[in-house]
């Protein structure tokens, strides 16, 4: 094992157990996240990968308790953060954690900041929410924070409005807001998707640098496997609301098991090969309403599908130490109980 | 900002000039003149009327009449009221305090109610409270002011006797005393409430819908992720954004405060500018009528300017240069 791994303590910082998050569509609940369990250890960077609509963002919003009210809700399961069950907490207790111990960066830096308040105001708000601090000190600290996320002229930017900044700058401001109180866990929901490639690399480098300095854990949600390879210790591959594979980053790239993971890796264009067409996975993720309730959800797109794939629901099981896959191809105990 | 405001004010001059042509033409297009409105033709010598027309310049070519009027107008001579026989400016000046009192109090009622109801409805949409507020608002929106005014007079003045049904002041109170001001407030209350309640609807629904829309924005999610309390999210983050479209109304309101409410003032026989306007039409008191119309046009332009300046203050994305 590489030395990076041995550094990581075994007590999980975040323990998600059998999480089910449902959306209410015309009076019926549809699970966007279905029976998902995983752990994030201190200082670990966990990547969550999957196509659009596979439940990555919904899961992260569930952890933050930020699901749209009245539409989405956590139906069952537990989210234990630092020994506290988030599902049992009141709104005001959650507010004490949000921005302080757990924080989040969103996909859209262009719309994630309030257009009518200055950068300084929006940054200082985190301090005022969680600490007792004078206005002067809050201002000084926010200038220092802006500097630490690589914004030049922070004394000036602090008094500017979001529309005066570029996308990359805004995402840096979002990161500054997220790390202001030195959280233990940072959830980054596609933090670089809306940015251009050179800025993407800078933002990722910045995140990694902060993670090392602040000793925090990161859940990095992305659909970019290149980002995963560069950043993550562990990778979770999700498909249609379920985890299909989970392992460390080396094994994912060198020994992927689940056919979906294999196809995802195959879809990365290779620089050294001449290809006329880009590889893609046929079909689309089934919509929430048409989700197959029995069998593997990937079966209809899977090139290796067997007849029993549509009748038996595969469970996430260890194929080797630290490598879990939910696929009948790797099923060791043949007779499977059906989920529903 | 100052430079911007100054440029806009300069830009008003040609606008007002064009307005004056329209105002003058409309006045001249109206059938009759002050002589036919005021004088009973049966007991006056027709020759005398014809002479007076000639003397007052009513028979001059229209452009000449226009330049005569506008020439005096820009020098501050707004003409003499043909009905009251005193300068039009004085007639209007006398009515302005009444109208201001009515306008300000009704708008205060509107703003306070709309703010309270709109914020509540926006925060708790599709609940029983929101539906009740919405229902009341549409009721208010669909009742014409002449119906509401007459009903209010019937109920609160005649049946219950709580408020006076007309005028702006009791007879016999001395100006400047506490009784004087109380009497004025007593008189203005009923028309102000009628006027204020009826215009609450659009403000409330606008504010409500804007709060609902803004509460779904990404920046609200960011605020929540920062651990900002729900109360502060609504009162600071959302409200500040939801106020921007309402500023458009503010510009109109500035005019509404001065121009008064023609129908409501007439029903309550409240001596404000609205009533004066209507009376001037009836008596063909063109100097007063044209001065009032020019005043309202000017205020509309100023109202728009104030709204634009306010946009720049509330919304940093709008820069005035």
B165 shares a domain with B54 = no
Which domain covers residue B16, as residue numbers? 2-74
- A91 interfaces chain B, CB cutoff of 8 Å: yes
Nearest Cα residue in chain A from B311: A116
Among residues B170, B171, B162, B160, which one has the least CA distance to residue B189?
Answer: B162
B223 shares a domain with B173 = yes
B31 shares a domain with B132 = no
| Strand duo A185-189 + A234-239: pairing | unpaired
The answer to whether position B87 is within a domain reads no
B151 shares a domain with B230 = yes
Predicted confidence pLDDT, tens digits, chain A (340 residues):
444 444 444 688 999 999 999 998 888 888 889 889 999 999 999 999 988 878 888 999 999 998 888 888 888 899 999 888 988 888 889 999 999 999 999 988 889 999 999 999 999 999 999 999 999 999 999 999 999 888 999 999 999 999 999 988 999 999 999 999 999 999 999 888 888 888 888 889 999 999 999 999 999 999 888 889 989 999 999 999 999 999 999 999 999 999 999 988 888 887 777 777 778 888 888 888 888 888 888 988 888 888 888 888 888 888 888 899 998 888 765 544 444 3
**pLDDT of amino acid A293:** 82
Closest Cα of chain B to A74: distance in Å? 17
- The beta-carbon neighbor of A108 closest among B218, B223, B230 is B218
Write out residues 206-245 of B within 8 Å (CB-CB) of A. 216-219, 221-230, 237, 240-241, 244
> Is B172:B179 a contact under the CB 8 Å cutoff?
no
> Among B43, B74, B105, which residue terminates a domain?
B74
Closest Cα of chain B to A57: distance in Å? 13
Per-residue CA distances from A142 to A18, A121, A181, B218, B219 (Å) = 39, 9, 11, 22, 19
Which residues is A237 bridged to in the sheet? Answer: A49, A245
Any idea what the CATH number is for the domain that residue B297 is in?
Answer: 1.10.3720.10
The answer to whether position B90 is within a domain reads no
Mean pLDDT to the nearest integer, B261-286: 85
Kindly report the pTM of this predicted structure.
Answer: 0.81
B185 shares a domain with B106 = yes
Mutant choice from A60, A97, A125 vs B, greatest count of B C-beta within 10 A: A125
B130 shares a domain with B279 = yes
Helices then strands, each counted (H, E), chain B:
14, 0
B101 shares a domain with B45 = no
> What is the CA angle A326-A12-A5, rounded to 5?
80
- B67 interfaces chain A, CB cutoff of 8 Å: no
The answer to whether position B198 is within a domain reads yes
Mutant choice from A115, A177, A219 vs B, greatest count of B C-beta within 10 A: A115
Angle between helices B128-142 and B178-214 (to 10 degrees): 120
Which residues is A80 bridged to in the sheet? Answer: A15, A85
Longest alpha-carbon distance in chain B: 86
d(CA A132, CA A128): 6
Tell me which of A65 and B175 has the higher pLDDT: A65
Q: pLDDT by residue (tens digit) across B275-289? A: 888 888 888 888 888
Burial call A59-77: b when 16+ CB within 10 Å, e when fewer: bbbbbbbbbeeeebebeeb
- The beta-carbon neighbor of A98 closest among B216, B227, B315 is B227
d(CA B52, CA A124): 76
Per-residue CA distances from A182 to A121, A210, B227 (Å) = 18, 10, 14
**pLDDT of amino acid A141:** 93
The answer to whether position B284 is within a domain reads yes
Distance of CA A135 to the CA centre of its chain: 34
The answer to whether position B79 is within a domain reads no
Indicate the length of chain B as a whole number.
321
The answer to whether position B141 is within a domain reads yes
Mean pLDDT to the nearest integer, B89-110: 88
B179 shares a domain with B70 = no
Beta strands in chain B (DSSP E): none
> Is B268:B191 a contact under the CB 8 Å cutoff?
yes
B108 shares a domain with B10 = no
B101 shares a domain with B13 = no
B208 shares a domain with B110 = yes
3 state SS of A38? strand
- B47 interfaces chain A, CB cutoff of 8 Å: no
Among residues A235, A198, A209, which one has the least CA distance to residue A220?
Answer: A235
Across chain B, mean pLDDT equals 85
**pLDDT of amino acid A336:** 46
d(CA A194, CA A109): 8
B299 shares a domain with B228 = yes
Residue A298: how many other CB atoms lie within 10 Å: 26
Nearest Cα residue in chain B from A174: B222
Report the domain count for chain B.
2
Among residues A222, A239, A326, A237, which one has the least CA distance to residue A291?
Answer: A239
Q: pLDDT by residue (tens digit) across B103-156? A: 889 889 999 999 999 999 999 998 999 999 999 998 888 988 888 888 888 888
The answer to whether position B217 is within a domain reads yes
- A117 interfaces chain B, CB cutoff of 8 Å: yes
**pLDDT of amino acid A102:** 93
In which band, very low, low, confident or very high, does the pLDDT at B256 lie, cut at 50, 70 and 90? confident
The answer to whether position B142 is within a domain reads yes
């Amino acid at each position: 094992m590489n030395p990076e791994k041995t550094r990581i303590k075994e007590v999980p910082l975040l323990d998600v157990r059998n999480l089910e998050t449902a959306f209410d569509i015309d009076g019926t609940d549809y699970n966007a996240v279905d029976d998902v369990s995983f752990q994030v250890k201190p200082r670990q960077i966990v990547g969550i990968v999957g196509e659009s609509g596979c439940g990555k963002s919904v899961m992260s919003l569930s952890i933050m308790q930020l699901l749209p009210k009245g539409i989405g809700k956590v139906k069952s399961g537990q989210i234990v953060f630092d020994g506290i069950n988030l599902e049992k907490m009141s709104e005001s207790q959650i507010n004490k954690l949000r921005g302080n111990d757990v924080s989040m960066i969103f996909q859209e830096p262009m719309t994630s900041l309030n257009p009518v308040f200055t950068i300084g105001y929006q940054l200082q708000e985190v301090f005022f929410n969680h600490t007792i601090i004078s206005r002067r000190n809050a201002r000084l600290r926010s200038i220092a924070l802006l500097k630490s996320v690589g914004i030049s002229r922070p004394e000036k930017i602090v008094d500017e409005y979001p529309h005066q900044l570029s996308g990359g700058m805004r995402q840096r401001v979002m990161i500054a807001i997220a790390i202001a109180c030195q959280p233990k866990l940072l959830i980054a929901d596609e933090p670089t998707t809306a940015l251009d490639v050179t800025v993407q690399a800078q933002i990722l480098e910045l995140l990694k640098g902060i993670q090392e300095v602040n000793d925090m854990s990161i859940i990095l949600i992305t659909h970019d496997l290149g980002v995963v390879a560069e950043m993550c210790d562990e990778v979770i591959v999700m498909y249609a609301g379920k985890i299909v594979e989970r392992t460390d980053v080396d094994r994912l790239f060198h020994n992927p098991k689940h056919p979906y993971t294999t196809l995802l890796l195959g879809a990365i264009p290779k620089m050294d090969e001449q290809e006329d067409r880009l590889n893609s996975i046929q079909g689309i993720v089934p919509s929430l309403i048409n989700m197959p309730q029995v069998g593997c959800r990937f079966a209809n797109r899977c090139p290796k599908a067997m007849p029993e794939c549509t009748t038996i629901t595969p469970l996430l099981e260890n194929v080797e130490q630290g490598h879990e896959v939910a696929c009948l191809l790797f099923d060791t105990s043949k007779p499977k109980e059906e989920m529903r | 900002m100052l430079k911007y405001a100054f440029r806009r004010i300069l830009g008003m001059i040609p606008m007002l000039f064009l307005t004056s042509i329209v105002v003058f033409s409309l006045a001249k297009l109206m059938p009759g003149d002050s002589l036919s409105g005021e004088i009973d033709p049966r007991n006056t010598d027709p020759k005398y009327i014809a002479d007076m027309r000639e003397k007052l310049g009513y028979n001059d070519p229209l452009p000449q009449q226009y330049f005569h009027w506008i020439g005096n107008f820009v020098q501050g001579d707004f003409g003499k009221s043909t009905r009251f026989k005193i300068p039009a400016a004085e007639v209007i000046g006398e009515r302005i305090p009444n109208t201001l009192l009515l306008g300000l109090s009704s708008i205060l009622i509107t703003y306070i109610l709309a703010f309270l109801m709109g914020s509540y409805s926006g925060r708790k949409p599709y609940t029983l409270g929101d539906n009740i507020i919405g229902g009341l608002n549409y009721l208010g929106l669909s009742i014409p002011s002449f119906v509401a005014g007459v009903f209010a007079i019937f109920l609160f003045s005649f049946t219950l006797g709580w408020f006076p049904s007309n005028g702006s002041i009791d007879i016999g109170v001395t100006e400047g005393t506490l009784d004087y001001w109380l009497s004025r407030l007593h008189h203005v209350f009923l028309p102000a409430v009628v006027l204020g309640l009826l215009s609450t609807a659009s403000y409330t629904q606008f504010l409500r819908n804007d709060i609902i829309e803004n509460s779904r924005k990404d920046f609200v999610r960011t605020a929540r992720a920062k651990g900002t309390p729900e109360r502060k999210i609504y009162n600071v983050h959302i409200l500040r954004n939801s106020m921007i479209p309402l500023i458009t109304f503010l510009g109109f309101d500035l005019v509404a405060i001065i121009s008064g409410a023609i129908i409501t003032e007439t029903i309550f026989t409240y001596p404000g500018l609205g009533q004066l306007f209507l009376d001037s039409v009836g008596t063909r008191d063109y100097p007063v009528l044209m001065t009032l119309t020019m005043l309202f046009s000017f205020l509309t332009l100023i109202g728009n300017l104030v709204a634009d300046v306010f946009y720049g203050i509330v919304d940093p994305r709008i820069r005035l240069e």
